Structure 1
Amino acid sequence: MRMRSIIGAACAAIAIATATPSAAQDAGAKVTLQFGQTIPNIPGKSLIAVVVDYAPGGASPAHTHAKSAFIFAYVLSGEIESQVNDGPKKVFRAGESFHEAPGDRHSVSRNASKTNPASLLAVFVVDTDDKELTTSVK
């Protein structure tokens, strides 16, 4: 039984490591995986943390996340303009946070400044077997 747990954890780690959001990688945004770990007391769930760095004027295209994903986003530096679903556009400054629920559509995600960089930490609670964390919406 112990070997099965080790193999399962190894497979989960590989899935997490390859699940870096791809939709934000263009248009002046760079995504870097910071942490990925299965949650031992919640079978089938993982915690994944990424930092999204936005160049001045940089943006991520409209996107959705894995259907299981609950996301906590914390602005590390600069100012991030965000709009989730049909809610209002809002600018979040360093030290402020917001969240996205499973199934939400992130319509706007961009650096609010044309002259200064900005970054945010996005923490996902997601099904371990979800392969794509982020999918662009056309």
Structure 2
Amino acid sequence: MMALAVAAPVMATQDESLLTAALTRAPGQSLEALRVTYAPGESSRPHSHDRDAYVYVLQGRVRSQVEGQPLRVYAPGESWFEPAGAHHLVSGNASRSEPATFLVVFVGAPRK
């Protein structure tokens, strides 16, 4: 499993690496795609990422709040962007009975 965030999750999150690729038009940068699943009621602690992140909800409903923005619940087909270094205050499954799955695409310096 790959870590989704700088902070450890409250419960074990299921992360699946889908793709890692160097960006040919941005030397020294890469793209990494992960499928992340939160169990019912699961959430992560406040955290930030060292790379830009595009997030797209595949299944379920995801609660998310980036500092300076309102708390939102995203449904399948909805997405958001988090710039590198943004403080992600809330990230969790909005349901206590169904899992939530989302795609995260990170762009930035490759992880070592």
TM-score normalized by the length of structure 1: 0.73
Tell me how far apart the structure 2 counterparts of residues 57 and 74 of structure 1 sit (CA, whole Å). 19
- Name 1:95's counterpart in structure 2: 77
1:75 aligns with 2:33: no
- Name 1:115's counterpart in structure 2: 97
Tell me how far apart the structure 2 counterparts of residues 19 and 126 of structure 1 sit (CA, whole Å). 16
Q: Is the 8 A contact 1:24 1:31 kept in 2?
A: no
Tell me how far apart the structure 2 counterparts of residues 98 and 76 of structure 1 sit (CA, whole Å). 13
1:21 aligns with 2:11: no
- Structure 2: gaps of 5 or more residues: none
Tell me how far apart the structure 2 counterparts of residues 19 and 39 of structure 1 sit (CA, whole Å). 20
Tell me how far apart the structure 2 counterparts of residues 29 and 19 of structure 1 sit (CA, whole Å). 10
1:124 aligns with 2:99: no
Higher percent of residues as helix: 1
Tell me how far apart the structure 2 counterparts of residues 127 and 51 of structure 1 sit (CA, whole Å). 20
Q: CA deviation at 1:86?
A: 2.9
- Structure 1: gaps of 5 or more residues: 1-17, 132-138
Q: CA deviation at 1:28?
A: 4.4
Tell me how far apart the structure 2 counterparts of residues 25 and 83 of structure 1 sit (CA, whole Å). 16
- Name 2:37's counterpart in structure 1: 53
Q: Is the 8 A contact 1:20 1:33 kept in 2?
A: no
TM-score normalized by the length of structure 2: 0.89
Tell me how far apart the structure 2 counterparts of residues 45 and 52 of structure 1 sit (CA, whole Å). 22
Tell me how far apart the structure 2 counterparts of residues 56 and 92 of structure 1 sit (CA, whole Å). 15
Tell me how far apart the structure 1 counterparts of residues 12 and 2 of structure 2 sit (CA, whole Å). 20
Q: CA deviation at 1:75?
A: 0.1
- Name 2:21's counterpart in structure 1: 37
Alignment deviations for residues 4-29 of structure 1 (CA, whole Å, 9 cap, x no partner): xxxxxxxxxxxxxx964354555142
Q: Which runs of 4+ in 1 moved over 3 A?
A: 22-26
